[in-house]
C-alpha cells in the first residue's frame, strides 16, 4: 500500500502532478499549501502529459480507490487539470467526490469554493454547470500546451538541438582542395565528416 489512513481518521490529500515535460512540483506545493489544511498528506506524481489512465498513475489510483472506500476527506490540487486533463474524466471524478462528500479545492480555481455557499437546489445546478465549463477550459489549455510541446519536439528533431550545426566555409574548402589536400585531410582539418566535404566539392 502506498499510504494508509489512520483508524477512524479520514485523510486530506495534496495531489501534485507534473508531466515528464514539466519542471519540479515544488511551485505547485507552495501555492496549494495556501488553501490546504496542515494535516495533509502530500503526494507527488510525474507522468506524461498524454497519459490520463489510472493504471499510468499508481499514486492517483490509490487516492481514487480510497475515495471510493470513504477514506478521503479532502483533495487539494494546484489546478483541476492535475486530476484529469480530459474533461469527461475530470467531471466524472468530481461527481464521485461530491457523492462521497470529498472536498475538492483548487488553487487556480478558488472561486469554485464560493459555490458551496449558494443555497440548494441552485448550488448543485450551478456547480454542475461551472464544473463542466472549467473542465472544458482545462482540457483546451492542456491540448494547446501539448500541441506546443509536440511542435517544439518536432523542431528539436528537425534542427538537431544540442548538436550545433557546423557551417562549412566553401572558400576554405576550395583553398584546401587547390592546395592538394585530399577530402579526408580536409575533413580532418575542418573537423567534419568526409561526406560533407564530398558534397561541398561536388556542388562547387
Using one digit for the tens of pLDDT, what is the confidence trace for 90-149?
888 888 988 898 988 989 887 776 665 666 665 565 566 666 666 666 666 656 655 555
* Residues 167, 170, 172, 177, Cα dihedral to 10°: 130
Domain 11-143 is of which CATH architecture?
3-Layer(aba) Sandwich (3.40)
What are the residue boundaries of the structural domains of the chain, listed by start?
Answer: 11-143, 170-203
Indicate the pTM of the whole model.
Answer: 0.58
Find out whether 11 and 67 touch, Cβ atoms under 8 Å.
no
Cis peptide before 67 (omega within 30 of 0): no
Report yes or no: 89 and 126 within 8 Å, Cβ to Cβ: no
CA 106 to chain centre: 16
What pLDDT is stored for residue 66 in this prediction?
94
Residue percentage of the chain with pLDDT more than 70: 62
What is the pLDDT at residue 160? 52
* pLDDT for position 63: 94
Question: Within 13 Å and on the Cβ side, how many CA atoms surround 189?
Answer: 14
Amino acid at each position: 500500500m502506498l499510504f494508509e489512513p489512520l483508524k477512524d481518521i479520514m485523510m486530506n490529500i495534496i495531489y501534485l502532478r507534473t508531466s515528464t515535460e514539466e519542471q519540479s512540483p515544488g511551485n505547485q506545493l507552495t501555492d496549494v499549501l495556501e488553501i490546504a489544511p496542515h494535516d495533509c498528506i502530500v503526494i507527488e506524481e510525474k507522468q506524461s502529459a498524454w497519459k490520463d489512465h489510472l493504471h499510468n498513475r499508481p499514486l492517483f489510483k490509490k487516492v481514487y480507490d480510497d475515495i471510493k472506500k470513504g477514506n478521503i476527506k479532502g483533495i487539494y490540487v494546484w489546478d483541476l487539470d492535475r486530476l484529469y486533463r480530459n474533461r469527461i474524466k475530470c467531471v466524472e471524478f468530481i461527481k464521485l467526490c461530491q457523492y462521497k462528500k470529498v472536498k475538492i479545492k483548487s488553487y487556480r480555481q478558488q472561486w469554485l469554493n464560493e459555490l458551496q455557499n449558494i443555497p440548494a437546489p441552485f448550488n448543485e445546478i450551478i456547480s454542475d454547470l461551472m464544473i463542466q465549463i472549467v473542465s472544458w477550459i482545462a482540457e483546451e489549455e492542456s491540448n494547446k500546451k501539448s500541441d506546443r510541446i509536440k511542435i517544439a519536439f518536432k523542431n528539436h528533431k528537425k534542427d538537431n538541438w544540442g548538436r550545433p550545426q557546423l557551417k562549412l566555409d566553401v572558400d576554405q574548402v576550395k583553398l584546401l582542395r587547390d592546395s592538394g589536400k585530399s577530402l579526408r585531410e580536409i575533413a580532418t582539418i575542418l573537423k567534419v565528416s568526409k561526406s560533407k566535404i564530398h558534397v561541398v566539392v561536388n556542388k562547387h
